[in-house]
């Protein structure tokens, strides 16, 4: 199984942002960059990179979507694996908050001795937490989905849905608001849960309050598939909004955007000649659901 890959959509700051993240997050590096020519956004720069073992992608594709806290990334500083965990958390907070905005100030909370939520200078949101060393270990980076506004209260249904869609899935923690406070007005809303799909851990929460944001395509999740059958199965289950279908992108019943992508496309874009890359790009720009046979034909012709 391939890991789930968060994909970040920038107007024109992807190169700067990727270099920034790789500069301070341990075990991080840029894998490759390519230019997709003649897209609806013009020439779009696409970057593949790894942050602390978690693969990411980023694209410069125009000012169409803005990052917001509905999708953020936990950074888990685990004292059982790092005896300077809090010091490193505070250093990372200082780097991320420079030119950014604190959404929850760095400090002590009932759920952690040291925690803070910050939007960096590019608008991407990060939750830095000193993990409980007695708990089950989690990766350093965990994407987090926050259900707000009209989607408040749907987090647990979404969790169960994703665990049914992906063949390799398991549940981690599951905490409702009433588990922490029996008088909570949010009854059975999900305060926090995490789960693993296709080797990738994700977190999910219901966010009460008068929020102004909800999910959009600024952050999507790439699912690489080895066969057309895999693409067809994921597309059938995850695509719930026909008008959102384009170039392998789809939107699920809960508003999260996914990219259902053939893994062979990565090899074509990495190893192909400029002419091959251009032919393949022009073919997939016309697609909704990806068709592997048509991509292979475009790659090999000429």
Cα separation of 278 and 212, whole Å? 40
pLDDT of res. 185: 77
pLDDT of res. 38: 87
Helices (H) and strands (E) in the chain, counts: 8, 15
At residue 124, the 3 state secondary structure works out as: coil
Cα separation of 140 and 146, whole Å? 19
CATH architecture of 71-206: 2-Layer Sandwich (3.30)
Task: Tell me, yes or no, if the two domains 5-61+240-300 and 71-206 fold the same way.
Answer: yes
Structure tokens at 105: 């100030």
What DSSP string describes 224-250? EESSHHHHHHHHHHH---GGG-BTTEE
- Residue 238 near residue 250, CB atoms below 8 Å: yes
pLDDT of res. 184: 75
CA-to-CA dists, residue 245 to 228, 234, 248, 257, 289, angstroms: 17, 13, 7, 10, 7
Residue 211 sits at φ, ψ, to 5 deg, of: -80, 150
Selection from 167, 222, 163 nearest residue 194 by Cα? 163
* Domain-wise residue ranges, the chain: 5-61+240-300, 71-206
pLDDT tens, residue order, the chain (302 aa): 799 999 999 999 999 999 999 999 999 999 999 998 888 888 999 999 999 999 999 999 999 999 999 999 999 999 999 999 999 999 999 999 999 999 999 999 999 999 999 999 999 999 999 998 777 889 999 999 999 999 999 999 999 999 999 999 999 999 998 877 777 778 789 999 999 999 999 999 999 988 999 999 999 999 999 999 999 999 999 999 999 999 999 999 999 999 999 999 989 988 888 899 999 999 999 999 999 999 999 999 85
User: 164-202: b or e for each residue (b if 16 or more CB lie within 10 Å)?
Assistant: ebbeeeeebeeebbeeeeeeeeeeebbbbbbbbbeebbb
Residue with tokens 């102004």: 212
CA–centroid distance for 116 within its chain:
19
The answer as to CATH 3.30.720.100 being correct for domain 5-61+240-300 is: yes
Cα separation of 98 and 121, whole Å? 7
């Amino acid at each position: 199984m391939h890991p789930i890959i968060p994909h970040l959509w920038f107007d024109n700051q992807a190169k700067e942002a990727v270099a920034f993240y790789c500069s301070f997050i341990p075990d991080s590096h840029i894998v490759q960059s390519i230019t997709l020519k003649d897209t609806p956004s013009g020439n779009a720069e696409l970057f593949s990179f790894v942050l602390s073992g978690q693969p990411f992608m980023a694209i410069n594709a125009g000012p169409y979507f803005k990052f917001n806290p509905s999708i953020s990334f936990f950074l888990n500083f685990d004292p059982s694996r790092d005896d300077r965990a809090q010091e490193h958390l505070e250093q990372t907070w200082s780097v991320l908050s420079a030119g950014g905005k604190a959404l929850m100030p760095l400090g002590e909370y009932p759920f952690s001795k040291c925690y803070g939520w910050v939007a960096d200078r590019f608008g991407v949101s990060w939750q830095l937490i000193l993990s409980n060393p007695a708990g089950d270990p989690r990766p350093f980076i965990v994407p987090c989905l926050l259900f707000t506004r009209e989607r408040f209260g749907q987090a647990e249904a979404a969790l169960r849905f994703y665990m049914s869609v992906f063949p390799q899935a398991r549940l981690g923690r599951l905490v409702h608001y009433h588990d922490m406070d029996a008088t909570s007005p949010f009854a059975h809303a999900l305060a926090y849960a995490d789960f693993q799909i296709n080797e990738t851990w994700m977190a999910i929460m219901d966010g009460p309050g008068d929020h102004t944001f909800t999910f959009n395509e600024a952050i999507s999740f790439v699912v690489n598939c080895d066969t057309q059958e895999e693409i067809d199965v994921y597309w059938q289950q995850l695509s719930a909004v026909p008008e959102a279908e384009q170039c392998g992108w789809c939107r699920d019943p809960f508003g999260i955007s996914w990219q259902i992508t053939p893994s062979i496309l990565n090899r074509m874009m990495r190893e192909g000649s400029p002419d091959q890359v251009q032919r393949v790009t022009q073919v997939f720009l016309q697609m909704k659901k990806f068709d592997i046979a048509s991509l292979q034909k475009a790659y090999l012709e000429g």
